[in-house]
Chain A
């Protein structure tokens, strides 16, 4: 038997609903229909009255989740696509993210963002938005790259007393499979060495972890051993694990599917440059999507975002520096 990344998300929600009566799910088409991606398939039937269809009102969906959390519930809200969370942006960054700081009342909401590119997704169904939420204090931003993390981190997100932006990659929904659900988990805040190596560190998260591993595999026959660090959560960012890896390899390449200006790759490089400059044998590099909206046609899309091939090319350049 195998389980996909998407099924793991569904199973995590089923378990959260089963073990905690305070949990409910709210979002567009999440009820009997089971969600646009079927991440809530059959949950409305299994948990009557606890999986609610919402009107197309991202602002009100998030705002009411905050209210429900104040009222003692632990809502999981699904934004149908991460791109549409922009409509609920105000409630996320100004209502949810400020509540604890202002009032000492925690805001345990989980906002599921199906994010990232897929072929044919185009400008408004492909965005990687983790950095804009990580920018605001008061939010935790998770970016699971594996089936195991999708499951265990979503459960942790629901259990955490703070608002969690849970970035689940749509490309991984069906492409990623594991043999079984995990029985133990690494806590959020700890990065993971996804592939060990000694010649270079590639820091990545979410779908880019797999592109980075493929790039590392491509370079292995050339005699280069590439280490891949999976950040798991971009906020908090596990600077220690990144720094320890760079201390071993002396070279850093950061890869993100999001746009280059600011963002997670810039943050990682800033931290390593500021705190670990002496560890570096070459200038730290990064690879992001191009600074345009995400294109529709697969030919354009695969060039727009980093891929195993472009990561391998960037890694070869960095190895020569």
Chain B
């Protein structure tokens, strides 16, 4: 939604983009907070995984993509998902296991997407989505579709996997328009970076793969918007894979079951521990792109959207095991699942 001219006056294109990004971050934060509340109230089965502190990076990825592109988000990408193409309703339906959601109660929480629309539902194995994005980009190449890119999001923990290595190397060999975004949030569950890798910066790996590397302060929305936009532009222009490494801190546990007691308080107080949403608010105010009343109305609008979605989904019937199609194959005649 465009900001009202009475408040904004002449807003620059970047200011307008910033506002859109901020509102995406805000919606994601409020949605995440609602999931956390539902989890504590025992209304969500399984885990809840928040993106608190990573919204600026995530939203920048979602914003830089367009229809026809491919997006493989990870667990802390509510902001990127919502701005890319997901509705709040689909997110809530997946967490609540509604059969009307995209995963129909068969998969839940962060495992949601719509592959036909280029929005891939992650499996739990880290790094595993990178090569799937590569394959979708290969398919587009076969079909002669141009000017498309694919983005895959991972954390620093995923950089230790074989799948990360194979996927990035494969993209480099095929010169695919892949943007591989690494959110270095300092902890893979409880494991700190010095037990995860031994290079100075993960962006140093780019050279080894023969791809372009970018490094960005993941707490700063404007830096994220600019760096991701540059990476996407270069990939779209045919410059091959782009590795983006963002430095930030996870401002929550791995999941809501985790109090993250292992995160040192000094790190929380360091620049890494700044809340990207609060920084973005300060920037909006200082640039005159919003005032306090405007921020409050955006917040109220987001809260209303989330609450309405939750209320709607809570009224929906749960999946029915007796009418469920117990077949894992699309070729029904070859399925043994019903036995």
Contact = CB atoms under 8 A, between A and B. Distances in A.
The yes or no verdict on A and B being binding partners is: yes
Contacts of B116: 70, 105
A75 B162 CA distance: 22
A64 B132 contact: yes
B134 A63 contact: yes
A59 B142 CA distance: 21
Given A59-B162, A59-B166, A102-B121, A67 B132 contact: yes
Interface in A51-82: 54-55, 57-73, 75
A65 B334 contact: no
Contacts, number: 143
B302 interface: no
Contact of B163 (A59, A75, A103, A237): A59
Interface stretch (A92-100, A219-227, A256-264): A92-100
B248 interface: no
B330 interface: yes
A63 B167 contact: yes
Interface string A235-248: 11100000000000
Interface string A87-114: 1001100110111111101100000000
Contacts of A67: 131-139
B170 A71 contact: no
A5 interface: no
B134 A64 contact: yes
A131 interface: no
Given A66-B132, A67-B134, A137-B328, A57 B123 contact: no
A54 B173 CA distance: 9
B335 interface: yes
Interface string B139-180: 110110000000000000000001100110110010000000
B136 A102 contact: no
Contacts of A64: 131-132, 134-135, 138, 170
- Sorting the interface of chain B by its residue count into under 10, 10 to 19, 20 to 34 or 35 or more gives 35 or more
A68 B115 CA distance: 11
B324 to A, nearest CB: 11
A188 B106 CA distance: 28
B331 A162 contact: yes
Interface in B204-257: none
B333 interface: yes
Given A60-B163, A71-B140, A236-B335, A100 B128 contact: no
Interface in B299-339: 328-331, 333-337
B169 A60 contact: yes
Contact of A95 (B128, B329, B330, B331): B128
A42 B16 CA distance: 56
Contacts of A70: 115-116, 120, 132, 135-136, 139
B107 interface: yes
Contacts of B334: 140, 160, 162, 188-189, 236
Interface of A: 24, 50, 54-55, 57-73, 75, 87, 90-91, 94-95, 97-103, 105-106, 137-138, 140, 160-162, 188-189, 235-237
Interface of B: 102-103, 106-107, 111, 113-116, 120-121, 123-125, 128-140, 142-143, 162-163, 166-167, 169-170, 173, 328-331, 333-337
